[in-house]
């Protein structure tokens, strides 16, 4: 891995720590930054793509997406720093994701969200994802056969 990729991995794991520590703790778990770094390294090696937004050298948001097959993709993670959630960061990240998905002609987008991550659950619902009944810790969301650009334009106006 390059120094740039290693920096990205550490930045992502650090932002995850800020956002996910309380969510995982509320579910009875502990955020393990070393485990996240290892998993993220493997995901990138397997082709996962990360769109980022930095301000003054600090990562303030990212969306990580992996291909499932030629027509479907999976959102591994979407994180926005708490101090930047009311701004344009999400819109920029989502626009870039939608552009990639449209270029690849993806027609199914899936995601899994911790049951107690209310902000992410609200976001998925606003974007029109359908949800599956929760399992022990997560809710699965799917957006099928959809023009992602139309969904994004409606949400990010």
Per domain, the residue ranges of the chain are 3-156
Pair 43, 76: CB distance under 8 Å: yes
d(C-alpha 6, C-alpha 148), whole Å:
31
The 10s digit of each residue's pLDDT in 86-97 is: 778 988 898 888
Sign, CA torsion 48/125/20/134: negative
What band does 52 get if pLDDT is binned at 50, 70 and 90? very high
Closest CA to 53 of 8, 109, 21: 8
pLDDT of residue 156: 54
pLDDT band at 56 (very low <50, low <70, confident <90, very high): very high
What are 114-119's contacts with CB under 8 Å, separation 24+?
114/23, 114/24, 114/27, 114/138, 115/27, 115/139, 116/23, 116/26, 116/27, 117/23, 119/85
pTM exceeds 0.75 for this model: yes
Token look-up 């397997």 returns: 46
Report the chain's terminal Cα–Cα distance, integer Å. Answer: 38
Q: Packing angle between helix 3-26 and helix 33-45, nearest 10 degrees?
A: 130
Q: What is the mean pLDDT of the chain?
A: 89
Which one is predicted more confidently, 29 or 147? 29
Average pLDDT over residues 47-68: 94
The pLDDT score that the predictor gives to residue 113 is: 95
- Which of helix, strand or coil describes residue 70? coil
Domain 3-156, architecture per CATH = 3-Layer(aba) Sandwich (3.40)
Query: Does pLDDT of 23 surpass 80?
Result: yes
């Amino acid at each position: 891995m390059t120094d740039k990729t290693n920096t990205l991995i550490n930045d992502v794991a650090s932002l995850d720590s800020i956002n996910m520590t309380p969510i995982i703790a509320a579910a009875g778990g502990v955020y393990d930054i070393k485990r996240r770094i290892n998993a993220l390294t493997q995901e990138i090696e397997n082709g996962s793509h990360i769109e980022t937004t930095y301000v003054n050298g600090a990562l303030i948001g990212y969306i990580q997406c992996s291909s499932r097959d030629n027509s479907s993709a999976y959102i591994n993670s979407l994180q926005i720093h708490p101090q930047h959630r009311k701004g344009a960061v999400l819109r920029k990240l989502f626009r870039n994701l939608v552009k990639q998905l449209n270029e690849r002609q993806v027609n199914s987008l899936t995601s899994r969200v911790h049951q107690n991550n209310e902000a992410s659950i609200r976001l998925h619902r606003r974007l029109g994802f359908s949800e599956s009944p929760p399992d022990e810790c997560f809710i699965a969301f799917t957006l099928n056969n959809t023009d992602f650009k139309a969904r994004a334009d409606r949400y990010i106006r």
